[in-house]
């Protein structure tokens, strides 16, 4: 699903440049649930941004579902993001004046899906995350866990190839975190490919594979026995 080869990225900081990613080689198969771990400054966010086409690599190859991602202009990148990727953010990033259902329907709007179908799909995905009754509520009326579940439903709505979750539990307490991880595991069970950036070992343990980043290189890449979040809920 994802193939990355010798990926380099550096940022210019005044006169000297900061080499953040120093040659990443990394493949993700269809249906994997991968945790990307590392301390801050290890380059994990930069990697996720590049994977999410929010940022461009300096050198190296990135192939997503057989499509080489290179030299995209903004319009093309937007199109690819919409088609291939679903984002789950640490701070949820719901649009605060839209209801839960409208938030979920937003990526479909950019896919030019008709209004009726959008509403149906939005409700379907809200149901999947167990929030169908909250469809008409504004984000401000939802708890943190509920917000993240709406965000997950939104990421799912466009039926992307890959879900990218950036610290999805970073703003949640541990009980809610496990609920969200339970949901993510279930989505993964249904066959979706998911990448989770986290620095929490217990969250990482709930994935099927853990990739450790340190100083811009992968220091460890191992498959793990998945801890089911269900038992903590």
Partner 1 sequence: MFDLDRWKEIFDAILKNKLRTFLTGLSVASGIFILVILLGFGQGMHNGIAKEFSNDSANRIFVWTWRTTKEHKGLNPGRRIVMNNENAAYIEKAFGEYLDAKSPLLRVQTTSITYGKETLGYRVQGVGPDYQPIENEFMSEGRFLSEKDMAERAKVAVLSNKMKREVFKKDDEPLGKFIKISGVPFKIIGFYGDPGGDQEEQRIYIPFTTAQIVFNGSDTVNNLAYNLKPQATFDETVKASMEFSENLKTYLKQVHMVAPEDEGAIRVFNTLEQAKRFHNLTGGIKLFFWFVGICTIVAGVVGVSNIMLIVVKERTKEIGVRKALGAKPWSIVAMIVQEAVFVTAVSGFGGLIFSMGLLELVGPNIEVDYILNPSVNFQVAITTVFLLIGAGVLAGFFPAWRAARMSTIDALRDE
87 near partner 1, judged by CB under 8 A: yes
> Of 70, 115, 175, 223, which lies in the binding site for partner 1, with binding defined by CB under 8 A?
115
Q: How many CA atoms lie within 13 A of 219 on its CB side?
A: 11
Q: What CA–CA distance (Å, rounded) separates 195 from 139?
A: 25
Rounded to a whole number of angstroms, the minimum distance from the CB of residue 104 to partner 1 is: 11
- Cβ proximity to partner 1: between 138 and 227 the closer is 138
Rounded to a whole number of angstroms, the minimum distance from the CB of residue 225 to partner 1 is: 33
Q: At what angle do helices 144-157 and 100-110 cross, to 10 degrees?
A: 20
81 near partner 1, judged by CB under 8 A: yes
| Exposure string over 129-147, b if 16+ CB within 10 A, otherwise e | bebbebbeebbeebebbbb
> Of 10, 19, 25, 111, which lies in the binding site for partner 1, with binding defined by CB under 8 A?
111
102 near partner 1, judged by CB under 8 A: yes
By CB under 8 A, what part of segment 2-31 binds partner 1? none
CB-based contacts of 231, cutoff 8 Å, min separation 6: none
55 near partner 1, judged by CB under 8 A: yes
Rounded to a whole number of angstroms, the minimum distance from the CB of residue 219 to partner 1 is: 25
190 near partner 1, judged by CB under 8 A: no
89 near partner 1, judged by CB under 8 A: yes
Q: How many CA atoms lie within 13 A of 75 on its CB side?
A: 0
DSSP element (H, E) containing 193: strand 193-197
- Cβ proximity to partner 1: between 3 and 79 the closer is 79
Q: Which of 206, 155, 228, 213 is nearest to 34 (CA)?
A: 206
DSSP element (H, E) containing 212: strand 209-214
> Of 6, 110, 159, 220, which lies in the binding site for partner 1, with binding defined by CB under 8 A?
110
Q: Is 6 left (phi over 0), alpha (psi -120 to 50) or beta?
A: left
> Of 25, 41, 61, 79, which lies in the binding site for partner 1, with binding defined by CB under 8 A?
79
Rounded to a whole number of angstroms, the minimum distance from the CB of residue 196 to partner 1 is: 17
Q: Which of 164, 175, 31, 151 is nearest to 94 (CA)?
A: 151
Residues in contact with partner 1, counted by CB under 8 A, come to a total of: 27
Note the residues at the interface with partner 1 (CB under 8 A).
49, 52, 54-55, 74-75, 78-79, 81-83, 87, 89, 93-95, 97-98, 102, 106-107, 109-111, 115, 154, 158
């Amino acid at each position: 699903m994802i193939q990355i080869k010798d990926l380099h990225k550096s940022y210019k900081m005044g006169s000297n440049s900061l080499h953040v990613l120093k040659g990443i080689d990394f493949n993700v198969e269809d249906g994997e649930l991968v945790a990307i771990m590392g301390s801050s400054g290890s380059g994990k966010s930069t990697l996720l941004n590049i994977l999410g086409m929010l940022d461009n690599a300096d050198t190296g190859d990135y192939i997503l579902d057989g499509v080489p991602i290179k030299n995209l202009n903004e319009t093309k990148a937007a199109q690819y993001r919409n088609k291939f990727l679903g984002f789950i953010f640490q701070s949820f990033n719901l649009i605060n004046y839209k209801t839960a259902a409208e938030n979920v329907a937003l990526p479909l709007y950019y896919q030019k899906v008709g209004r009726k179908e959008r509403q149906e799909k939005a409700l379907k995905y809200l149901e999947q995350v167990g929030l169908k009754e909250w469809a008409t509520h504004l984000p401000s009326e939802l708890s943190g866990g509920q917000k993240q579940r709406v965000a997950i439903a939104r990421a799912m709505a466009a039926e992307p190839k890959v879900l990218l979750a950036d610290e999805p539990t970073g703003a949640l307490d541990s009980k809610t975190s496990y609920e969200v991880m339970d949901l993510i595991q279930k989505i993964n069970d249904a066959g979706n490919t998911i990448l989770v950036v986290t620095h929490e070992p217990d969250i990482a343990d709930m994935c099927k594979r853990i990739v450790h980043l340190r100083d811009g290189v992968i220091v460890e890449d191992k498959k793990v026995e998945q801890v089911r979040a269900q038992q903590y809920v």
